[in-house]
Structure 1
């Protein structure tokens, strides 16, 4: 990932301004970095932030992304982790994430599992992958909010808007307090509670960046997709 960021860093410096905060909250060793997802550009911009702070990441990403001719090869070459949902290979992503944490690597997980579908671009209801990795490894979960990438490329947009230069806000908060949940049986209730805390922490960081109050209830694409009879398209 370092070499890819070095290649793309001039583009990032040319077309963006940076409001980066919170790297002092990064613990030593491996940890889960949980973040919101507002644009297809935010993994690159988040990588820029992390690599510049000496923390090269491994991302969990949809397996379908690895099938994109050039992008997929770059992801594989950088050691990123494909997530195969609802297949016999579904457990491979979890195993790779656990191994990475054990090796002292930072693993980036999007609890929402896909680009947000909230009308106001707030974090949606989440999946439990970040919490599960945290409990199985005992590692911290650092919440990070991103804002600004959506101005370059809106969610589900196809044409980037590079000018005027956009400010990319990346704010990390202190690790999420999960201590009272550790040591308990990792069941549905524990995972749901931990996931809510992680999303609450991300949302609080984002609210501070935006200077706005988030919705009192998170948008839940699963409820909408069940009503429509569709898959919600999420990763973990």
Structure 2
């Protein structure tokens, strides 16, 4: 890691060459995040990063990923940074209200999501504006950590599909696995750093949304496009895990309100 805005050195992650070329200008606050997070991740975790060639080097894009732990945003952030892009993740608005961390992630350009409020549409508008400016926007379509007992992705919300169909940008499906071994997020809240865990991330080729383009953006269309997106994320996760994903993804809307899902 250099102190400047660029790093032209060629490097490899587990034998796979990273995207080459200069890093983007990161600004002070995102640079501060990199200086804090990257050394921590390199020291305390191992990496198995694949499919990095599938992220466009330039231009607006949306990447979508599964959510298995409160730790996986750090993993995904490092992965995207190693792909020579600056991630702009959509996250819960409550995180942006934390005394110190909230100031940092806000200044680093991350996008707060206000649920069930008059400001709920602000995140969507901010994400569309970022994509139209050529930025790399990250969305957790599930909206929360998966409740699937086997940690497969759940059905997704339609925000990523709406952004993609409105802007015409590519949607990159990314699967991550291993963060749950550091911080399970359910049950015990202990962070387990030793022995060092391997953070596995795989980006697939862009989701084919051609069947949905050029049509009126209806609720039904968005749900169909979102299903296609989540099935791709589940498929990439199946590759990482060496397992076959379920034919139907867990839908939390079908669960009784008083059911303990985990």
Counterpart position of 2:3: none
Q: How does 1:51-70 map to 2 (within 5 A)?
A: 51-70=81-100
Q: Does 1:22 align with 2:51?
A: yes
What are the superposed Cα offsets for residues 155-198 of structure 1, whole Å, 9 maximum, x if unpaired? Answer: 33522100001111110000000012111011011101110111
CA separation of 1:184/1:2 partners in 2, compared to 1, >3 Å: closer, same or farther? farther
CA distance in 1, matches of 2:31, 2:133: 17
Aligned match of 1:178: 209
2:233 is aligned with 1:202? yes
2:40 is aligned, of 11, 15, 22, to 11
**Alpha-carbon shift at residue 216 of structure 1 (Å):** 2.1
* Alpha-carbon offset, residue 71 of structure 1: 2.2
Provide the alpha-carbon RMSD of the alignment: 1.5
- 1:164 paired residue number: 195
Q: Higher helix share goes to which structure?
A: 1
**1:135-174 deviation digits (Å, cap 9, x = unpaired):** 1111010000000100000133522100001111110000
- Structure 2: tracts of 5 or more residues without a match: 1-29
With structure 1 as the length reference, what TM-score do the two structures score?
Answer: 0.93
Is 1:81 aligned to residue 81 of structure 2?
no
Give how far 1:228 is off. Answer: 1.8
The CA deviation string for residues 208-230 of structure 1, in whole angstroms up to 9 with x for no partner, is 11011222221111221xx2269
Specify the alignment match of 1:113 in structure 2: 143
**Contact residue 42 and residue 146 of structure 1 kept, 8 A:** yes
Residue correspondence of structure 1 range 121-200 to structure 2 within 5 A = 121-156=151-186, 157-200=188-231
**Paired residue secondary structure (1:151):** helix
Decide which structure has the larger Cα Rg and report it: 2
Q: Which residue of 2 aligns with 1:211?
A: 242
**Which 5+ residue runs of structure 1 have no aligned equivalent?**
none
**2: CA distance, partners of 1:56 / 1:183:** 30
Query: What is the number of equivalent residue pairs in this alignment?
Result: 229
CA distance in 2 between partners of 1:165 and 1:126 (Å): 31
Contact 1:116 1:155 in 2 (8 A): no
Question: Contact (CA 8 Å) 2:209, 2:225: kept in 1 or not?
Answer: yes
**TM-score with structure 2 setting the length:** 0.84
Cα contact 1:2–1:51 (8 A) shared by 2: no
